[in-house]
Amino acid sequence: MSLVRNFATVGSATLLSRVLGFVRDVLLAATLGAGPVADAFVVAFRLPNLFRRLFAEGAFNSAFIPLFGRTVEEEGDEGARRFAGEIGSALLFCLLVLTAVAQILMPFVVWALAPGFADDAQKFDLTVMMSRIAFPYLIFMSLLAYVGGILNTYQRFAAAAFAPVMLNVVMSLVLATVLAAGITDNTALGIILAGGVMVGGVVQLAVVVIDLKRLGFRIPVYRPRYTKSAKRLLALGIPGVVAGGVTQINIAVGQIIASLQEGANALLYYADRLYQLPLGVIGIAIGVVLLPSLTRQLRAGQTAAYQHSLNRALEFSLVLTLPAAVALAVVPHEIVAVLFQRVRFDAAAVDGTAAALMAFSFGLPAFVLNKVFSPGYFAREDTKTPMKFAAVGMVVNVGLSIALFPVLKHVGIALATTLAGWVNTGLLIVVLWRRGHFHPDLKLLRRLSLVLLASLVMGVALHFAAFYLAPYLGGGVLAVRVAALGLLVLTGIVTFGVVTQLSGGADLVGMAKTLTRRNT
């Protein structure tokens, strides 16, 4: 199965998840607006997500997949089962200990992540309560990453990719019920929403466990031990905590500073959700598929295939990312207003979210390229080099956030995250190229320049289209506003597609035919 086909499988699943995530966030905006409960929910939900992406998806996957892939190649399925059993028992033990400690120290954890909440006792107590309920979500999501890594190594990407859809289904049902019941009590809302996160975690884990059973891969149960496999995983995983989770670390830093501005965390959350759509569909899909593919090719000594995979991943990612970044930068206000402005999400919230979204949009290509080039290091079991670059990025992020926040408020935090992302990604690219592990050819560079040109032409078309559609986007019946936004999006897609195809920036028609042929 080709890389593009696998990218499409994971990307389509992520797209469905993000679309349903928008439904969830629209309901969340209508239910909570940008008030104190929204601020508390953002911190409570982001807390287990932060640890999940740092320790599970970031450190764990960057170390586990190359080691597990090597075990499959060298020792076969039996050795792979033994390795998976040893790592699984150690992982679960660590998760249980971490969760127990977090429950005890939750007031201190919340204070560390959102010190500004301490001035409002009710908001602080509500955040602590919601965080305690939601934190065990980390256990289910970490086990999901673990099982998903096994499935991905065996080229089974669909279940792990579609699992996040279930969280958005569960949370949308919970929020719709809250709206229908007219629940407004802050404590009741907090308990219900945090409980919904927990249920969503259970359902997601069930999806991948069922697929693992279909694969016929049985994981033996061992008592937790510090084995040679666990020691090697830990050695690779510690640098991966920083390298794999740099974006989340930067977001956490921004969250701490944003807690000093009323409603800022909620505004950044809604903006983050919007730019995470293309980042998730493109970046996550590439990261999930590329690491096991590069690992397998390097283990087999297929250097040419490795270079081909890396170059095609770069080309594919920017063909989709550059136009998305330009669109988010040109029409952020129109997007935010149509998707979120209703009930308790007012015009001021739209302006604040749109400004942050524009700042995030300039960093979108950097965040996606990070997903492309990091596997070039991880596949060689090198997590220390990305860790060093991530540390540089964090220093840049913290310094710029502190410097820009007094002037630009929450927008300064978004801009700092963007600039730090470019610093980190730039270092990844340059060093990988200098080591001879990345060889971009002239054909690739020519195509990418044409894709950038097509994206800029599309941006101009969107600007004028938004001007003429302004009466339909700005007010009136929601169905009309949604239709106008759909027309605006269609204008961008058609403009970019035509210019890219005619200029030779990318063979979009050929890609579509390839996917259709492989699906028949």
- Give the whole-angstrom CA distance, residue 292 versus residue 154: 9
Q: In this structure, are residues 99 and 328 in contact, taking their beta carbons and an 8 Å threshold?
A: no
Number of neighbouring beta carbons within 10 Å of residue 347: 9
For residue 342, the SS3 value is strand
pLDDT of residue 519: 44
pLDDT of residue 1: 44
pLDDT of residue 422: 92
- Give the whole-angstrom CA distance, residue 55 versus residue 58: 6
Q: In this structure, are residues 198 and 147 in contact, taking their beta carbons and an 8 Å threshold?
A: no
Domain ranges across the chain: 3-440, 443-520
For residue 347, the SS3 value is helix
pLDDT of residue 470: 85
Nearest CA-CA partner of 46 in 277, 386, 273, 373: 273
- Give the whole-angstrom CA distance, residue 105 versus residue 99: 10
Q: In this structure, are residues 38 and 216 in contact, taking their beta carbons and an 8 Å threshold?
A: no
- Give the whole-angstrom CA distance, residue 461 versus residue 478: 24
- Give the whole-angstrom CA distance, residue 28 versus residue 345: 10
Distances (CA, A) of 296 to 72, 229, 383: 10, 19, 17
- Residues 6+ away with beta carbon under 8 Å from 355: 332, 411
pLDDT of residue 383: 76
Per-residue pLDDT of the chain (520 residues; tens, 9 = 90+): 455 566 666 767 777 877 787 788 778 877 776 677 777 887 888 777 766 666 555 566 677 777 888 788 778 888 889 988 988 898 899 889 989 999 999 999 888 877 878 888 888 888 899 999 999 998 998 898 889 888 888 878 778 778 888 888 998 899 888 888 888 787 888 889 889 989 999 999 999 999 999 998 989 988 888 878 777 777 766 676 665 556 566 666 777 787 777 777 778 878 887 877 777 667 666 766 676 777 777 777 777 777 877 877 788 888 888 999 999 999 888 888 887 776 567 778 888 888 989 999 998 899 888 888 888 887 787 878 888 888 888 889 889 988 998 888 888 988 998 998 899 899 999 998 988 888 877 777 888 889 899 999 999 999 999 888 888 887 667 788 888 888 998 999 999 988 888 888 776 766 666 555 544 4
pLDDT of residue 226: 80
What is the sign of the dihedral through the CA atoms of 267, 424, 383 and 279? positive
List the structure tokens of 309: 């995979």
